[in-house]
Amino acid sequence: MAAGRTPQLTTRLALGSLLLFVSIGAVLAFLVSGQLRGRQEQAATYHAEFVAGSILRYELTPQDVAQPVDPRSARYQYLQEIVRKRLLAPPVVRLKLWRDDGTIVLSDEPRLIGRNFGVDDELKEAFLGEPSSGVTDLSDAENVFERTQFKKLFSTYVPVYLVGARDHGEADAVAELYTDYAGIQSQVSHLFQTLVATLIVGLGALYLLLLPIIRRVTRTLAVQNVKLEEQAGRLQTLLETEQQTVAELRELNRLKDDFVAMASHEVRTPLTSIIGYAKTLRRPEFANDGAAREEFLQAIERQGDRLSRLVGNLLAASHIEDDRAHLTLAPFSLPELVEDVLAGLGPRAKRVAVTLPTDLPPLVTDRQRMELILANLLDNALKFSPNGHRCDLQAWADEQAVVVSVRDRGIGIAPQDLGKIFDRFYQVDSSVTRRYGGVGLGLNIVQELVESIGGTIDVSSSPGEGSTFTVRIPFAPPWSAAEAERSPRAEPAAAR
């Protein structure tokens, strides 16, 4: 991933740096160009002020500025000679001398002399002693003869104070000097080109020097980005794991609370009955009532059996391990095992309809675990089947296993609950006041016991029609009895 991103990052940084350098160069060129142009225009203004203060001031007389100088006179020829030799040096191309009423009294263009073009703002400022300058596009009437020779001129108005007169306040005349803007632009362009070339060489050299550094930096950044992304991924995974762990712990805590509440209720109920019947038997009026005493003793026995099964399930749930080394493998008869399980059910065994073939082969597995499997399935079936309804226990054999089926006539299981009934402590109705007792361990114990001896268990059910649990136990587990006995962890099931 770093190899793929590094060229892209390097290219982006290189192009970005190049664009930055070009932008800096363009801005610098624009600023410097403006400064150069301003300096050239300022130089033209200084030149005009020098001409007015050092030449025209001493050559002009009051009569020259009072009336237009006749172009045919010797005076004009004299002044024209001075103007051409000393004023009209490139890039200055024209001189106009203005009277305060807007009349041109002297010019190197004789056709302008004596013409009045009015007084504009620049001329007013110049007569008040403030020089002004600017670029003209030659569209004014006074530029009638300049526009055929030039495209653009730089015009400067400077006040003229004659010798012997005041040198401040209102001027005696105003000199307007025109500078060819092409000359200014030419000098600016030349300097601009030199500057641009210098910038290109300098910035190009700087760019070439920085490019290897940029590449190294981008490679380093790319590697660091990859590491950061990997670290962020690990942190995200860790966060998700921690969140899942917290959720599981909360769920376990909730299950624990539910279990404590259910277990307390389930243990308290038979104990309360046993204590109640025992106290009743101690009353004098029942001392000689054999029938009542027998009824009470049977009730105590039933509640004791109920309490014993509950404690047995709790102990079994805490000791079951999916480890074949803890199995006691021995052949036994399934019909004999069923008889022992039914005997443990007491009077409730009459409600179990047993259908077993006479030719069932013996099973080679842990007999105690198989007995606990059948006892829990039958107890669960009897618990959920209404009084007066029978439960079915069937078994048959195929080529590899014995299949045991236990069917009840209970309330059935909804489809959304079928995938959860084997979860520890799960109850379809988890309220303490539910109709059926138990702490949600029976089916979980059955599943773990079945899987511990290499079998499988399935359930099919429809609400209102009861449920059928089908257990498939292989004739012998996938491992041999000798292997289990050789294991250093092997121990008799009775040791538990």
The predicted pLDDT at position 30 comes to 72
189, 214, 239 - which closes a domain? 189
Q: What are 250-292's pLDDT values in tens digits?
A: 887 876 776 666 566 566 667 777 887 788 878 887 777 778 7
Count of domains forming the chain: 2
CA distances from 108 to 50, 161, 227, 394, 485 (A): 18, 20, 81, 136, 133
Q: Which residue has the tokens 């995200």?
A: 236
Contact of 330 with 369, CB cutoff 8 Å: no
Whole-angstrom distance, CA of residue 40 vs CA of residue 431: 99
Q: What confidence score (pLDDT) does residue 318 get?
A: 56
Distance CA 194, CA 365 (A): 102
The Cα 60–Cα 175 span in angstroms is 11
Q: Does residue 265 belong to any structural domain of this protein?
A: no
What's the CATH number where 73 sits? 3.30.450.20
- pLDDT for residue 405 is more than 70: yes
138-176 b/e (C-beta count within 10 Å ≥ 16 → b): beeebbeebeeebeebbbbbbbbbbeeeeeeeebbbbbb
Asked whether the predicted pLDDT for residue 486 surpasses 50, the reply is no
Distance CA 59, CA 66 (A): 14
Identify the residue with better confidence: 322 or 336: 336
Which of these three, 173, 189, 205, is where a domain ends? 189
| End position of a domain, from candidates 189, 209, 243 | 189
Counting Cα atoms < 13 Å in the Cβ hemisphere of 106 gives: 30
Residue 156 has phi, psi (to 5 degrees) of -130, 125
C-alpha span between 459 and 467 (Å, rounded) = 7
Per the CB < 8 A criterion, the answer to whether 153 and 180 are in contact is: yes
Residue 308 lies in a domain: no
| 202/400 Cα distance (integer angstroms) | 90
Q: Which CATH number fits the domain that encloses residue 417?
A: 3.30.565.10
Residue 360 included in any domain: yes
Q: What is the pLDDT of residues 456-467, one digit of tens each?
A: 999 998 888 889
Sign of CA dihedral 209, 213, 216, 221: negative
Q: Is residue 195 part of a domain?
A: no
CB-side neighbour CA atoms (13 Å) of 200: 6
Whether 135 shows a pLDDT value over 50: the answer reads yes
Length of the chain in terms of residues written:
496
Residue 407 lies in a domain: yes
In a domain, 182, yes or no: yes
340-392 pLDDT tens trace:
988 888 788 899 999 999 889 888 998 988 988 998 899 888 888 888 888 99
Domain that holds residue 33: 2-189
Between 93 and 289, the higher pLDDT residue: 93
